[in-house]
Structure 1
Amino acid sequence: MLGVLGGGQLGRMFVHAAQALGYDTVVLDPDPASPAGLVSHHLIQADYRDPDALRELAARALAITTEFENVPADALAELARLRPVSPAAEAVAIAQDRIREKAHFARCAARSGVAPAPYAAIETEADLAAVPDALLPGILKTARLGYDGKGQARVASREELAAAWRRMGGVACVLEQLLPLALECSVIVARGQDGQVVSLPVQRNLHRGGILAVTEVHEQNLPPALVQRAQAATVDIANELRYVGVLCVEYFVLEDGTLVVNEMAPRPHNSGHYTVDACDLSQFDLQVRTLAGLPLVQPRQHSAAVMLNLLGDLWFDAAGQPRSLPWTEVLALPGAHLHLYGKTEARHGRKMGHLTFTAASAGEVRANALRAAELLGLESF
């Protein structure tokens, strides 16, 4: 039996991948109707720090992973006293703290040449006063608990910076210089207990409102030299952490072609969902293999892919009233793969599912995905 801390959609897809290999699964999550809990053999409904629940999870599962980055790192550390846990609590703790994360990226840049954006850590009034002028305009981000665009503010002046920091409660933050972005991409790697690393193709991503909207993965999405740099930098980041598990690292590509590392997620990632339908091994298959100590082989992408993120906004019309969605017409399109996560309530900004298109060519897969976006009322890309 394999265990997972967290019951969201990433946990649900991990559970499906584990069950395909014959494993029983156990999920720990406070929500009795969590997507992963609904499909797992066992659900432990409890807080992530509940000591009795953690002991039960360790008693049931032979190895344990997590499905979201904000799971308490101390809970993982407690579990690791009893069972193998991957990723390790220390790696998750680094990913949860932008200040530590940026420092890790900066250390790796000495080898890979791929650095984070120029930044400054702001934890005190003295830090605020010492921010270099060159970092403005910039983006202020809370060091902890920020995701999907939350905990961020664009600032153009010292006055705006000070006001934004105080609105955020004066918590620890990172100020990043605003850079001329051409596009965004991400790399997912899996690293085994023996240090072996395999990499998935580089994903080209489009974000709207700080939330991933579209991922494209095909031969025409990125220059080959950029792909090689991004994959090599990601492998280096994982090796420096002695990471075990699936790791996603997100990058900016600047207008001059420079690659800049942005952030990492110590888990499978929204941008890798296409792998379920377009690759012979999905990111969740790799997560199971790293957790169970099974062999890692290099995944192969067999189809061009475009993934559309489906947020709860789609379930409402312009007046805010619930609406039906044209799934019949969408599923009539060639290469359509619909994944709905079993969430009981649609809310604005909530990830309800994703829609992946596969085809033999980039042109065909884009055409079908664009038609689906039109049918659903999604913005073109």
Structure 2
Amino acid sequence: MLKRGGTIGILGGGQLGRMMAMSAAQLGYRCIAYAPEGDNVVSGVCEDLFVNKWDDKAALAAFAARCDVVTWEFENVPVATTRAMPEGRIFPHPRALETAQDRLNEKRFVEDLGGRPAAYMRVDSRADLEAAADRLGAPGILKTRRDGYDGKGQWRIGSDRDAQGLRLPDVPLIYEGFVEFEAEFSVILVRGRDGEIRFWDSARNTHEDGILTASTLPSGDLIEAQVGEARELARQVADALEYVGVLTLEFFATREGPIFNEMAPRVHNSGHWTIEGATTSQFENHIRAVAGLPLGETATLARTVTMTNIIGAGIKASQDHLKTPDTHLHDYGKARVREGRKMGHVTQLER
């Protein structure tokens, strides 16, 4: 168990790290962060920020020397960076990143546990893409196997002609068949060092252009009927990885049951509602887990909860939301406003 006043290192400089550090301070811990140069909003709530490249061995060693435990807030932190941290002091284990950073490996891993992803095929050439579109059908989604998020690194293939005409990036790809779904939802869990697992209620997620715009509770009868099966898969994933911390699996709710979409080995945007809407937030429970503390209760505290992302220039009018009762604003403090960038979020509760 990490003693009061200990130091938690965070790999990554974004808003998830910022909210982790705020929860850590509440529990009596210090945080320092490590990230390449950029709009590192974590700096406002950390005691120190190392601004260095991911492969700077000397800087990583100096960072690790100041940390009692280390975690990450961004799933695209290089695995080599996490492995530069002392064994037994980084949570989750780097194997979680190795699994989640490659969509092909991730899907095979989930299939081995009995999960059902969308039909997929590996794509390394134009011939592979045309074969995949022919076999799995179009429409479908072509994705980079690595580094994509918030709709980046994805192309909708509407027809065989699209597959023939698309200029392929020179990176490993995967083609996913189209899933006819009724809704999207997340299963978010926290697993402690002792293997205890707790789940939050699953919200219904709404996306626009590949970006999450809102998460709402209650999620509706269809999702609630499929959460049990989805949770069982998430539990198997967490146990197989000997995971410590918050883990998220995203699903499509279909007429045939839950279809696995992807996993995020970290706290997740669709769990932001837990800050005000649950007994213990995903951020606090992540810190509890990596610090070796007892996990907190995850019960939902309100009759309805709506978390809405503030994207791009919408942040300029964000304080207007505070005119609505039981509404909570989170401004991430990002200096650069651009289209499609998550600048903050608002959570509204009805008790």
Aligned ranges for residues 1-381 of structure 1 at < 5 Å? 1-31=7-37, 34-81=40-87, 84-109=89-114, 114-124=115-125, 127-128=128-129, 130-131=131-132, 133-137=134-138, 138-164=140-166, 166-169=167-170, 171-218=171-218, 220=220, 222-254=222-254, 256-303=255-302, 304-314=304-314, 324-325=316-317, 327-328=319-320, 330-360=321-351
Q: Report the AA paired with residue 181 of structure 1.
A: F
Is the CA contact (8 Å cut-off) linking 1:5 and 1:66 kept in structure 2? Answer: yes
Residues of 1 paired with 2:158 and 2:210: CA distance? 19
Residues of 1 paired with 2:287 and 2:11: CA distance? 14
How far did residue 280 of structure 1 move? 1.2
- Count of aligned positions: 343
Partner residue in 1 for 2:3 = none
Residues of 2 paired with 1:298 and 1:265: CA distance? 22
Residues of 2 paired with 1:62 and 1:130: CA distance? 50
Residues of 1 paired with 2:17 and 2:277: CA distance? 20
Extract unaligned runs of 5+ from structure 1: 316-323, 361-381
State the secondary structure of the residue aligned to 2:113. helix
Extract unaligned runs of 5+ from structure 2: 1-6
Q: Report the AA paired with residue 294 of structure 1.
A: L
Q: Report the AA paired with residue 201 of structure 1.
A: D
Q: Report the AA paired with residue 58 of structure 1.
A: A
Call closer, same or farther: CA 1:33–1:122 in 2, change over 3 Å. closer
Residues of 2 paired with 1:69 and 1:219: CA distance? 26
TM-score by length of 2: 0.92
Partner residue in 2 for 1:375 = none
Give percent identity, aligned residues only.
38
Residues of 2 paired with 1:178 and 1:219: CA distance? 23
State the secondary structure of the residue aligned to 1:131. helix
CA RMSD of aligned residues (A): 1.9
TM-score by length of 1: 0.85
How far did residue 127 of structure 1 move? 3.8
Residues of 2 paired with 1:326 and 1:353: CA distance? 8
Q: Report the AA paired with residue 47 of structure 1.
A: K
How far did residue 55 of structure 1 move? 0.8
Is the CA contact (8 Å cut-off) linking 1:5 and 1:48 kept in structure 2? Answer: no
State the secondary structure of the residue aligned to 1:149. coil
Is the CA contact (8 Å cut-off) linking 1:9 and 1:35 kept in structure 2? Answer: yes
State the secondary structure of the residue aligned to 1:2. strand
Is the CA contact (8 Å cut-off) linking 1:202 and 1:230 kept in structure 2? Answer: no
State the secondary structure of the residue aligned to 2:80. helix
Partner residue in 2 for 1:370 = none
Is the CA contact (8 Å cut-off) linking 1:6 and 1:66 kept in structure 2? Answer: yes
Call closer, same or farther: CA 1:96–1:32 in 2, change over 3 Å. closer
Q: Report the AA paired with residue 108 of structure 1.
A: L
Is the CA contact (8 Å cut-off) linking 2:305 and 2:349 kept in structure 1? Answer: yes
